[in-house]
Amino acid sequence: MSLILGIESSCDETAAALVTSERRILAHKLAGQEAAHRPFGGVVPEIAARAHVEILPALVEDVLSEAGIDVDEVDAIAATAGPGLIGGVMVGLVTAKGLALATGKPLIAVNHLEGHALSPMLAQPSLAFPYLLLLVSGGHCQLLFVEGVGRYRRLATTIDDAAGEAFDKSAKLLGLGFPGGPAVEAAAKSGNPSVVPLPRPLVGSAEPHFSFAGLKSAVLRARDSGRYSVEDVAASFQQAAIDCLIDRTARALRNADGATALVVAGGVAANQSVRAALTDLAAERGLPFVAPPQWLCTDNAAMIAWAGALRFEEGLVDALDAPARARWPLDPSAEKARGAGVKA
The footprint of ligand KG4 (CB under 6 A) covers 11, 137-139, 164-165, 167-168, 179-182, 185, 266-268, 270-271, 298-299
H/E element, 218 = helix 213-225
Q: Which is nearer to Zn ion, 170 or 300 (CB)?
A: 300
Per rule CB under 5 A, count of chain residues that contact Zn ion: 2
Task: State which residue, 65 or 295, has the beta carbon closest to ligand KG4.
Answer: 295
Q: Find all residues with CB under 8 Å of 130, minimum gap 6, and list them.
A: 145, 146, 147, 148, 256, 258, 259, 260
Q: Is 232 in the site for Zn ion (CB under 5 A)?
A: no
- Residue 96: Cβ within 10 Å count: 32
Burial class (CB in 10 A: 0-12, 13-18, 19+), 150: middle
Tell me, residue by residue from 163 to 202, as one string, x for binding to Zn ion by CB under 5 A and - for no binding: ----------------------------------------
Closer Cβ to Zn ion, 9 or 137, answer by number: 137
Q: Are 26 and 15 in contact (CB under 8 A)?
A: no
The length of the chain in residues reads 344
Q: 268 touches which of Zn ion, ligand KG4, none (CB within 5 to 8 A by kind)?
A: ligand KG4
Site string for Zn ion, 135-164 (x = CB under 5 A): --x---------------------------
The alpha carbon dihedral of 119, 124, 294, 201 has a sign of positive
CB of 8 within 8 A of CB of 299? yes
Burial of 254 (0-12, 13-18, 19+ CB in 10 A): exposed
Given 114, 185, 231, 299, the residue binding Zn ion (CB under 5 A): 299
In the range 74-113, which residues lie near Zn ion by CB under 5 A?
none
Residue nearer to Zn ion on the CB measure, 137 or 249: 137
Q: Which of Zn ion, ligand KG4, none does residue 120 bind (CB under 5 to 8 Å by kind)?
A: none
Residues that bind Zn ion (CB under 5 A): 137, 299
